[in-house]
Amino acid sequence: MEYVIEMNHITKEFGNFKALDDVTLCVKKGEVHALLGENGAGKSTLMSVLFGLYQAEQGEIKINGNPVKINNPNDANNLNIGMVHQHFKLVHNFTVLESIVLGRETVNGGFLKMDEARKKVVELSEHYKLKIDPDSYISDITVGMQQRVEILKMLYCDNEILIFDEPTAVLTPQEIDELMKIMKNLVEEGKSIIFISHKLNEIKAVANRCTVLRKGKYIGTIDVETATRETMSEMMVGRKVNFNLEKAEEKLGDVTLKVEGLSIMAKGSHKKVVNDVSFEVKRGEIVCIAGIDGNGQSELVYGITGLMPLQSGRIEVNGKDITKDSIRKRSLAGMAHIPEDRHKHGLVLDYNLQQNAVLQTYFEPRFQRHGFIRFDAVREYARKLIKQYDIRSSQDENSITRGMSGGNQQKVIIARELDRDPDIVLAVQPTRGLDVGATEYIHRQLIKQRDNGKAVLLISLELDEVMDVSDRILVIYEGEIVADLDPKSVTVQELGLYMSGSKRKIAN
């Protein structure tokens, strides 16, 4: 059997930590080969070895049966290997066209020749149904569009082997369907795709075969059509995963969070992104704000947590007006925030785990004396959280957060926020980009908060999550709450109509 890629017995070490331990991956020509594993299983590391970002200590790589040495991404490009990274690598003040041709420019007499490039880019975008505007700036287009630009970059370079690293983590359900169609078209054209994911339904929808990694080791390769979700998840996490969330009936208490007439202006414009929003969250319930990305849910959370100024409105926590309070005061009033962008608002990436664990509590007497931090107390506290929340990293509390997997970075934030014993938890897309094991774990933590009489406000784009976790669903559309629904009686299809603005039922 001729494979387009063979990665045999790859071992990659970082100090004493083995990120990959004797891993083998074989991809056939013209297939979508999924790479499945928990956060931190070694999927991205294996692809970084194939793309020349890392060098393996042991093992060999063959392309079309020929052994190759890939020292850097230029070598990978010369071997027709392209990669869409999990965090896109685009220049924000470049246009779409400039971003696509970057590094492959046609120059004549020291001047850029963009006409031929534009023609090729437009032809590619039409051929693969990747609608883009070549003159838009990267900073002005949606995340879904940015991903199309990344794909066109690979096609512009005539890459035959395409690596998609967690491509759906930042997309809406509609954009995910689009991407699946695009991947199928590429394979029909004879391209070979490696699709890194931990979303089992996506792998079932698009992949032919699937290789599973667990804790840096090769577990096996299976045929996707015949494998069940249960088999795949068990291979991935090493135990049975419960897809059905068990929840007791809610026991409602007092109103914890009260939002009245909240309006927020878009940055740099006179448009209201949040328009006169009012709702309450009581103790003992999970209220979910559902909507298609970009309908004001991010700004709503920024307003409640103090990251963005309000144009009008009032916010109360436990009956106390916190509308004009600083972020620290809101946090001390009983508010916890699991932000949607964990890198921007959740962590200081170049701090280690223990420093990140006390970002909101370092000033408390238990962690400082006379203005000096008690490092032994901080270390003990971080160790407690690592154990309690099963946070995995190469150097435990001394691990630099930037080098940790996405799932473990998220666990650090959740551990820090929930351990403060808050009254209201704002969880914004808490499982974005996480595997089934980590997702199941985080859902259990949120339900535990609710069962302990806390209030939870969940903001999610994942319809399964919205339906399974919430006790009440508020739908946001163009900055307004358009429906107040009961997840037990509403269907996913009906929810989709409210989210897209085709249906309205004003909250009671």
**For 98-109, what is each residue's pLDDT tens digit?**
888 887 777 777
Statement: residue 342 has pLDDT above 70: yes
Q: Give the three-class secondary structure for 66.
A: strand
Identify any residues that bridge with 255 across adjacent strands, giving them in sequence order: 282
CA atoms of 92 and 279, how far apart (whole Å): 36
Mean pLDDT score, 133-149 = 80
Q: Higher confidence at residue 328 or residue 133?
A: 328
Res 199: pLDDT:
78
Confirm or reject CATH 3.40.50.11930 for domain 243-334+423-508, answering yes or no: no
Range of lowest pLDDT (100-114, 154-168, 368-382):
100-114
Domains in the chain: boundaries: 3-237, 243-334+423-508, 343-421
Provide the pLDDT confidence category of residue 149 given band limits of 50, 70 and 90: confident
Distance (Å, whole) CA 196 – CA 211: 10
**59 with 10: CB under 8 angstroms?**
yes
- Mean pLDDT, residues 215-242 taken together: 85
DSSP state of 409: H
CA nearest to 151, candidates 135, 164, 168? 164
| Maximum distance among all Cα pairs of the chain, rounded to whole angstroms | 74
Q: What is the pLDDT of residue 176?
A: 78
Token output for 306:
């103090």
CATH superfamily of 3-237: P-loop containing nucleotide triphosphate hydrolases (3.40.50.300)
Least Cα distance to 266 among 478, 501, 483 occurs for 478
Tens of pLDDT, residues 446-494: 999 999 999 999 999 878 888 889 999 999 999 999 999 999 998 887 8
Ranges assigned E (strand) in 114-235: 161-165, 192-197, 209-214, 217-223
- What is the pLDDT, as a whole number, of residue 159? 83
Instruction: Look at residues 410, 473, 476 and name the one whose alpha carbon lies nearest to residue 443.
Output: 410
The candidate with the shortest Cα–Cα distance to 88, out of 42, 7, 41, 152, is 152
**Residue with more model confidence, 236 or 172:** 236
Q: Please count the CA atoms within 13 angstroms of the CA of 27 that sit on its side-chain side.
A: 30
Question: Is the distance from CB of 153 to CB of 99 less than 8 angstroms?
Answer: yes
Q: Which of 146-150, 204-208, 372-376 has the lowest mean pLDDT?
A: 146-150
Write the pLDDT tens digit of every residue in 22-54. Answer: 999 999 998 999 998 877 788 888 999 999 989
